[in-house]
Amino acid sequence: MKALILEADKKLEYKDIPMLEPSDSAKVLVKVKYAGICGSDIHRGFEGGAYHYPLAMGHEFSGIVESGGAQGMSVVVFPLLPCWKCVPCQTGDFAQCVDYDYYGSRRDGGFAEYVCVPEENLFPVPEGVSLLHAAMTEPCAVALHGVRKLLINPGNTGAVYGGGSIGNIVAQWMRIGGCRTVFVVDIDEKKLEIARDMGFDTINSEEHDPVSEIQKRTGGSGADKVIEACGLPITFRQAVLSAARFGEIVFMGNINANFVLNPKDFSTILRKELTIHGTWNSKVTPRGRDEWTTVLSYLGKELNVAPLISHMPELRDGADIFERLVGRKEFFNKVIFKV
């Protein structure tokens, strides 16, 4: 079978690899149809972040059951493989597992024609939801998991730092949850244009100080609910300073440098009695009310991911598309491989 293989740091090759053999622990053979590129794939493939080589990356993917299950069923795959032994696994908090495996990072993932997965990691794609859009279930669930940390009341004001695919999806979940106004902050005018077209208030932070702008547009109150989805020290600080009194903040972005608050800014957390949440991954229990099932029930309806997809290359063109992504040679938003 064909796969896009990370042979070494910064070295990708589209090549033949041996066909997978289902096992007792991963008996369902899934034919991958679409696989999305995550920002973590860039860190893994081009910043020395891989656990091992060679590796087929890709943890956001959809496909069709080839064998070992309901043959022909359209599915998405929860990429985390829990140990089933630790305390978080016993409570269904698999994202907190102390000894997990993971498709696309710790083991080969969706940048390949086939993947073998446990049946319990499969989620059926509802009729009417395209496999292309279903390939974004994982980032949509990650965004939902973060938004669910917040106690949103109808009419609240939200703010999202980061207008990329995750930030946009976060803004959509905040609106679905009851925020009347959601500010999307970014420096990329194309991403802001997409957000405006989707009905969000936007702030270009190269043109305006977002903290002052949010204060001005809220009559001095600030945003009730704030999510940082960039991973930059400056936006972590701005998220804190733009929150309203008794506001809530979710730190979602993986920060890429030291984050320091001066005493005055730290005092803002105390004086405004802010609540700060961390978030990671998503939750797949209890089945039926979990975040993956929720995403699949909203896709193509209140949750619209189509405008976020900027590129749909063939998997064979993976080395080229990653080179362009890393080199920032053009505008990219969400890139999804046709496998």
Which domains occur in the chain, in start order?
A: 2-139+282-338 (3.90.180.10), 150-278 (3.40.50.720)
Reference 160, options 177, 185, 131, 127; nearest CA is 185
Give the confidence band of 329 by pLDDT, cuts at 50, 70, 90.
Answer: confident
Host H or E run for residue 100: none
Q: Which pLDDT value is given to residue 33?
A: 98
| Mean pLDDT within 141-158 | 98
> Mind listing the pLDDT tens digit for each residue in 10-67?
999 999 999 999 999 999 999 999 999 999 999 999 999 999 999 999 999 999 999 9
Radius of gyration of the chain (CA): 20
Residue 197 to residues 112, 206, 239, 263, 275, Cα–Cα distance (Å):
34, 20, 24, 39, 31
Give the confidence band of 238 by pLDDT, cuts at 50, 70, 90.
Answer: very high
